[in-house]
Structure 1
Amino acid sequence: MKSTVKWITRTAILLALSVLFQSLRVLIPVMPANVSQFVVGSLVNLCLILAAIITGIRGGLVVAVIAPVIAYLQGFTPVPVLVVPIALGNLVLVIVVALLHKRSNLLAFAAGAVLKFFALYLGVVKIVVPFFLPANAPEQMKTVLSVQFSWPQLITAAIGGILALIILPVLKKAIEDL
């Protein structure tokens, strides 16, 4: 199989998995929002990390940008202006992992998680919430967004990295056997 076809196939599979994981909120509607954030966020971060390693920066960027757009279209992102900082946070994770994983997966995943957290915190809590939310946005929405895009982002990215540490050896062997 040509390398371009492999790249497209792998990128498409990881994007599809990201969308499927985001859809768990609909498929399991009884899941509380705070639990949903940790489950879904961790699984989407896993897909971003896998995309960065398996398909490289380009494939990871595809997943990083399209996933938050689809989340908005599914109604999981309350205002469209949030798509940009979420995509940027995803891009930070993908780029850091893609650049560092050959040196050390642990270093790549830890640095990626911390930098994604900072990107989202800065982008959402310090820029979008105070300056770009509609003037009539309820205070509760501002509070919820400020919490959702702070420390939980570090936790979900770290869990995604831990899951990747578990899955990658098996996945790499399966890919080599193809």
Structure 2
Amino acid sequence: MAVRPIVTVGHPVLRERAREVTAAELASADLQRLIDDLIDTMRAAGGAGLAANQIAETVRIAVAEVRPNHPRYPYKPEIPLTVMVNPVIEPVGPETTWINEGCLSVPDLRGTLDRFLTVRVRYLDRDGAVHEEIQRGLSAGTFQHEVDHLNGILFLDRADPRTLTTWEHWNRYQRDAFLRHVAEIESP
């Protein structure tokens, strides 16, 4: 297990579509170590998720986790540690919502984009067990963000360029409006 360097925007690996993982690969010690590295790197960087492309590995594996009072995203609902192998996402209905996102591969920049409000996520866990979940609101956005990475897409590709801002300016000028929006989309 190790904390690995996170590649940043401009690195070509972030624009590659990651390849599917076979059952034999998933069972290998090398891939299990990679999963541990993804988890360690995500936690060390304070992220809510991390895709393999972000540590220069082009396999379809991503992790997500939001603990209560997350230091970087205290407003996000909790997501238990989730290891997604070969994830597939499909919208559950046409409804979208705007989300302001950041990315560990795009340091100190945030932007607003539309995401599906509710999605179905299918994936294998690190042991090869099949999972199917419905995610909604900011959690749905987190899963869409990570699967985008596996497809070579950055949030910058989907964001309205007029909304791009540094973390400092987002905290100062946009945070309160976003938190009001989060309260609306996260309420049952």
Q: Name the structure with the higher strand share.
A: 2
Q: Name the structure with the higher helix share.
A: 1
Assess same fold via TM > 0.5: no
TM-score, length-scaled by structure 2: 0.33
TM-score, length-scaled by structure 1: 0.35
